Structures are given as C-alpha cells and as structure tokens.
Structure 1
Amino acid sequence: MPRGADTPRGAGTPRARWLVPLLVALAVVAVTAGVLAARVPGGAEAAGTGVPGGPTPAAEPTGPTPAPGAPEVPQPVTPTCSPLGLLVTAGPVDAGLGHRGVVVTVTNCGDAPRDVTGYAGVEVLDGTGRPMPFTVAHESSYTVIDPGPAPLVLQPGQSAVTGVSWSATVTDGGLTEGQALRVVPVPGDPGQVLPVWVDAGTTGEIAVAAWATELAR
C-alpha cells in the first residue's frame, strides 16, 4: 500500500492542527454568550448594570380597608368650649359583674358663672351617628348613685360630674350596642359626642345621675 493512503488528505498539515482547536473555541464562546443573554433581562445590558432586575415592589397600603357594609363609628366632637362656655369629656368605662359605668365631666371653660343644676341630656348613638331607642332613667344604678338635682353653679374653671350607667344583661330580644354618647350639658347647649361603647345587652336602657361636684359614694 502506498505511504499515506489511510491518512485523510491535509489531516497532517500544519493548518489542520490549529484550525480544529480554533473552531472549538469559537463554538464555546458562542454558547456562553447565548446563556448570558438569556439570563440578563431586557434593558439591563443597555443600562450597563448587567444585574437582573427584580419585580417591582407593591405599593405600601395606606390603612386597613373596612369590611363592606360595616357601620362607621361616629367621630367624637373635638373638645372645644361650647357657645355657652361648657366642655364635656368622658373617662374610661368601669365594668364589673355585668354592669357598666362611665364618669362624664362638664367644665366651665367660659369667663362667666354657669348654672348646671339638674340632669344632662344623654343619647346613645349607633354606628352612623343616629340616636338609638334607649330608655333614659334619672336614678341610681349598681355602679352609680344619683344624688338628685341640687343647685349647682360653676365658676370659670370649675367642673361637675355625672355618672352614666347600664347593664350588659342578655335575655330576650335584639342586642342594643351603642357606639357613642351625645351629651347636652344644659338645655340650649349643643350636644357633644363622646366615643363611649354602650354594650347594653338586650336591656336598651341607661341611667343618668344629676350633675354634682363629685360622685356620690
């Protein structure tokens, strides 16, 4: 057999020895570039960052979303001096053995004496700010003693108190739960709304004591 008959033509030449590794290197470069291009999102290369961008963060919520149809709690009136020079505030609700009581204070914030003799006008409001059909009794209760009306004049800066009380007893009928109290300290003065939750069970009744310099014990 003639010499070189089994060797492909040109396989042993210098050009063949360097051409094959060069083609292999070019193929590796092309595959690597394709993989990188698939990993970098559109726009990252143009921006020069080369870092894949993450998802756009969601906007922070501005506050809780009320449930559909949920009643709105009446907003309390900002404590200010009324046209007759009286300011009404409420303390925390005192609870025990199914009974509730809250101390309501009236302060003479004007510049002249003010007669507050008698009982405050008190209404229980629902979640929309409308009066509820509560019975109001001027009498003592389990948590509050009614001293009865007595002459009482407040000098500027002086205060008087009353107690508003109710029972959380549940028997028959629908629940009567008020979301606020509207208090008229003396006839002719605007009502002032106080954020007091009245969980009166099924009684539908509150008791209001007369204004006094201090609660009767």
Structure 2
Amino acid sequence: MVENEEDGGSAQMTLDPRIELEAERIAEALVFASAQPVSEGYIAARLPQGADVRRIMMRLKSIYAGRGVNLVQVADYWAFRTAADLSFVVQADENEVRKLSRAALEVLAIIAYHQPVTRAEIEDIRGVQTSKGTLDVLMEAGWIRFRGRRRTPGRPVTFGSTRDFLDHFGLEELRDLPGLEELKGAGLLSGRIPANFQIPVPLGDDGFGDDEDPITQLDLEELGLLPPSGGDG
C-alpha cells in the first residue's frame, strides 16, 4: 500500500495493483451472487483495507457497459441486469408483476414525484378517491412503502417509493425520473395541459422533512396496518 500526496495536500492510500484487482474480483463476485441489489457498505466490508469501493464499482460499471449484462447503480446499491436493448430476447416470467391499472399507475406516479405524500394529498392531486386496494397492489409489488407520519391533525401516514421501484424502472435515483418534456415525448401527457402545470423535481427519499416523523412499528400496529406484536402467539 503506497501513500500518494495529492495537490490538495491530503494523503491518499493507493493499493498495490494486484490487491486492487483482487478487490475488483471480490466486488464483482458479491454482486453476481446476489439476487437483490447489494449495498456499497456490504461490499466495502468485504474488500481489502483501503479499497475505494465507489471507484471499483464505477470501473466495473464501465467494463460491463457494452455487454449483454450491465452493472447498474440503484442509489448506493449495485446489481447486474440484462442490457436494456436485449430485453426482448428474455422471456417474460409467468410470475411477472401483473399489469397495473390506470389508477395504480397514477397513484404510483404521484407518490414517486410528490413523496412524501399522504393519501388525502394523493386524492387531492387526482381529484378522485383512492381505494385501499390500489395502494395494496403497489405495496405487494414492493414499489411503495409507509414512510412516516405528518405532523398535522390526525398524523396521517405518508407514502414514498422504494429501492425496488428504482431497480424495476432502471433508475439510479429519484432525480432520474423523466421530466415534463420526456413525458410529453413518450405520449404520457396530452398536449392540452394547464399552462402552469409542473412536475416537481423529486428529492431524496431518505431524509424526513420538518413536518414529518419516521413511522414506527407501534404506529403501524395502532393504524391496523400490522398485527400487534407480542402476546401468547
């Protein structure tokens, strides 16, 4: 391991090239062996001391960029996925998530772009009531989650999207969601939309706002969203 002095004055550790290559192979194997995206923290804990996990993953990402499978980033998680232009050759699985109804797609889009958002806020944006069944379908798909509770009367539950949502739709982070012009180009918005219509730029979904508290197990039990813990079983 060699110490390099950068122009900025801070010393950085550089691994021996053989150790660096071994770290790259370990990271590649860890992601390949997992059916779910693997966190950088999990990878870093298993690499040689001093290995720069982000640099290693970005190098692997570039290596796989032109292959049949790509190494993709989902927030700070990593996974191998079939190259987008080859998806047509992969047979659809019978257990594929069922096609969403128009209502479910609308609710999913509202949650993705407006999170954290309450059920009442979803209904206000859509202009119609949202059934519990619609939310249940999105929960079962693993694309939305109970996120927190708003600090307003009644303390309504807020909803947010999940890492599985990003993974399924090929997004690294929420900021990669398509903007207004992209949605128009895809035909998902009609030409006759209000002049002041805007699509919000999604913020990260990890932090909580000043008017929001994290949701707890007790909250979910009180709301009837989970069976009570404890008891005789």
Assess same fold via TM > 0.5. Answer: no
TM-score (norm 1): 0.19
The structure where helix makes up a greater share of residues is 2
TM-score (norm 2): 0.18
Larger radius of gyration: 1
The structure where strand makes up a greater share of residues is 1
